[in-house]
Chain A
Amino acid sequence: MSTLKFGLAALALSLGASAAFAETLEVGAPASDQDLARYFAIQPDGEGLPPGSGTVSAGAKVYGERCAACHGDKLQGVPAAGGAPLVGGRGTLSSAKPVKTVESYWPYASTLYDFVWRAMPFDQPGSLSPDEVYAVTAYVLAKGGVIPEDATLDASSLPKVEMPNAKGFYDGRGPDLPLYNAGR
């Protein structure tokens, strides 16, 4: 084989390999809108919120029937049932005994909607309708003094709720840099 021929063969081989790397494996099937319709994840700016709405008073009824057994009549939590307190605790985060609740700690109302819709109530997860989730979210936020008792939440108003601890978080990625100081 002449040098030229060998070079061309090598070039052809390398081109073939490059073409293979650029191809996809043709594995998997396209996911249709219908496939994706069963999923949700809600962003702080409200992206992903469903249509619907709920009032504080409607939420009181949902809460009493579906939530109070674990979280308490006064949203104070029921330790024996594993239900966390949902209100109270403002002003405690820098104290020796911080009390972390939706009211005192959670930075976004969207998180409350997302979590209740996906995983609550504990005994029947994912069973609340979007309207019921708006309502019970409104109820918890009203009882925490975050929104008025006559408030209605929907996809437009929920992202505008300013949580008391909205500015209480920062990006903590990376190690504690002082640990790299020699002779610390």
Chain B
Amino acid sequence: MRRRGSDEAYEPLAASRPVDEECPCQEGMRPQAGLGRRQLLLSAASTLGATALAAGAARAAESAPPGSVHYDVPEDPTKEQGRPLLADGGYGTRSQFETEVRSKANNPTDLTSWTFTPLAAQIGNLTPSGLHFERHHGGIPTIDPARHELVVHGMVGTAKKFSVADLKRMPSVTRKHFIECSGNTLTEWAKPTAKNVQVTHGLLSTSEWTGVLFSTLAREVGLKEAALWVLAEGADAAVMTRSVPLEKLLSDGMIAYGQNGEALRPEQGYPLRLLLPGYEGNTHIKWLRRLQVSDRPFMTREETSKYTDLMPDGRAKLFTLQMGAKSVITFPSADMMLPKPGLYEIKGIAWSGRGRVQSVEVSTDAGKTWRPANIENVAEPMCTVRFNCPWAWDGQAATLQSRCVDETGYVQPTREELVRLRGLNSVYHYNAIQSWAVAADGGVSNVHA
């Protein structure tokens, strides 16, 4: 059902945006003279809308970006009262001037497809829940939590079923972790393909997750001596299943019901999902309904015919579960335009499925020389960090790269190193250094350097 490989075509991001939209380079640019032009244009348009003939409410509502409500902008907000509280019904929306959305892959059906997080626009280290990337294999199910159960059985002392309320009564943990699809960046093996960082790296998102550790559940059911693997199963139309090493589940596996301070979003597995820090996204089974403990893996469709890595000799690797250390510059990045030479703050994200990010380096000469980047937040295990590095652009062509090292000593590889080790047909787990070319005119594009 999934299509894969280099024949995969993504919907150009531009198709989902207004044609005349400014490039996203306005944000974060230095020197910055007041508002970006895009914001000015939007403000002007809104002011016109307010002062000219009142646009109909229905039409105005249509013009508000997803997740926002359109309000007329007053000439001077200090000269009239604003809105009363709870006019939003008690659940807030984002500003009508914020337009970032997920974009989708161009697949035959939107029921088994994926969406990309707009990484270049992300502010801070956490992905807003509504912008978290998605990968579905049978659409997004609607599940009533009052009727949902998690069954734990197999090689256990006592098979048990837990309601969502049961799980919420148990001791919980709250941890920040990224989830990355192992197909992230898969278009880039042979040649630079994707238009911008949303499409090259947008199958990555970071959240604060809250839930019950698997080890806590294990104490309730008991584990039999020979147990080694656990099958996790979802309650969607794909009835998604993956086998997970018991050792991983006992070390930090979590049954999550919370994301960024509220319940999981439906597209993220409401009411329950499996969280396996650092493991490929497909194993974080959404709409989790069942855990079956076994002494061997089940060899499900996803872990044999799909998420396996084909090597040059024609054999394939099973259970390449951990995501490798990886980083990417989000500003400047492809599809942006630098207006003129000057001082810029290179910004990006780094992460590793094997532990904390230890350090990040940035190159502006295609990897010939490297400088250490500043890490903006405290590095946590299997969690993204944001990095930045000042750069005085002299107006000459430049190639920007970042690379990271994790606390295990794993250095993010070059593309050449990855290809030498794995060939060009392994599809998944592409974590090579990404290159962005800045042309003399300031245009930024996706290249292989």
Residues of chain A having any CB pair with chain B under 8 Å:
24-25, 27-31, 35-36, 39, 41-44, 79-84, 93-94, 96, 98, 100, 102, 105-108, 110-111, 114-115, 118-119, 122, 125-126, 168-176, 178-180, 184
Contact = CB atoms under 8 A, between A and B. Distances in A.
A80 B109 CA distance: 9
Given A41-B300, A114-B301, A28 B166 contact: yes
A96 B162 CA distance: 49
Nearest to A98: B425
A174 B109 CA distance: 34
Nearest to B2: A84
B300 A115 contact: yes
B1 A84 contact: yes
Given A27-B166, A39-B151, A94 B231 contact: no
B125 interface: no
B161 interface: yes
Contacts of A180: 409-410
B319 interface: yes
A184 B413 CA distance: 10
Contacts of B292: 39, 41
Contact of A169 (B159, B308, B413): B308
B138 interface: yes
A30 B160 contact: yes
A160 B227 CA distance: 25
B417 A184 contact: yes
Contacts of A79: 3, 108
- Nearest first, the 7 A-B pairs at minimum CB distance are A172-B317, A94-B314, A82-B108, A93-B314, A115-B301, A31-B159, A118-B239
Contact of A82 (B1, B220, B305): B1
B40 interface: no
Interface stretch (B78-86, B263-271, B320-328, B387-395): B320-328
A122 B305 CA distance: 17
27 contacts: A27-B220, A28-B162, A28-B166, A29-B160, A31-B152, A41-B233, A41-B292, A41-B300, A44-B299, A82-B107, A83-B1, A84-B1, A93-B316, A96-B424, A98-B310, A98-B425, A100-B4, A108-B299, A114-B300, A119-B137, A119-B301, A169-B317, A170-B317, A171-B319, A172-B316, A179-B411, A184-B417
A111 B305 contact: yes
Contacts of B233: 39, 41
Given A36-B151, A170-B317, 7 more contacts: A27-B169, A35-B151, A83-B1, A93-B314, A122-B138, A173-B319, A174-B322
A119 B216 CA distance: 31
Given A173-B321, A179-B410, A119 B161 contact: no
A9 B2 CA distance: 64
A120 B410 CA distance: 41
Given A41-B231, A79-B108, A93 B310 contact: yes
Contacts of B175: none
A120 to B, nearest CB: 9
B299 A111 contact: yes
Given A27-B166, A31-B153, A43-B298, A169 B220 contact: no
A86 to B, nearest CB: 11
Nearest to B305: A106
Contact of A27 (B107, B170, B308): B170
B404 to A, nearest CB: 13
A80 B308 contact: no
Given A79-B3, A82-B3, A84-B1, A111 B170 contact: no
A162 to B, nearest CB: 14
Nearest to B412: A179
A152 to B, nearest CB: 23
Interface in B130-153: 137-138, 151-153
Contacts of B310: 93, 98, 100
A31 B316 contact: no
A119 B138 contact: yes
Contact of B161 (A28, A81, A125, A169): A28
B354 interface: yes
Nearest to B239: A118
A172 B153 contact: no
The winner among A82, A102, A172 for most chain B CB atoms within 10 A is A172
Contacts of A172: 308-309, 316-320
Contact of B108 (A27, A44, A80, A179): A80
A179 B1 contact: no
B314 A168 contact: yes
A30 B222 CA distance: 12
B415 interface: no
A41 to B, nearest CB: 5
B35 interface: no
Contacts of B237: 119, 125-126
B238 A125 contact: yes
A168 B300 contact: no
B374 interface: no
A111 B231 CA distance: 14
A140 B151 CA distance: 33
B359 to A, nearest CB: 16
Given A35-B151, A36-B159, A125 B239 contact: yes
A125 B138 contact: yes
Contact of A39 (B171, B290, B413): B290
A170 B317 CA distance: 5
A151 B212 CA distance: 48
A44 B318 CA distance: 15
B383 to A, nearest CB: 19
A106 B304 contact: yes
B389 to A, nearest CB: 24
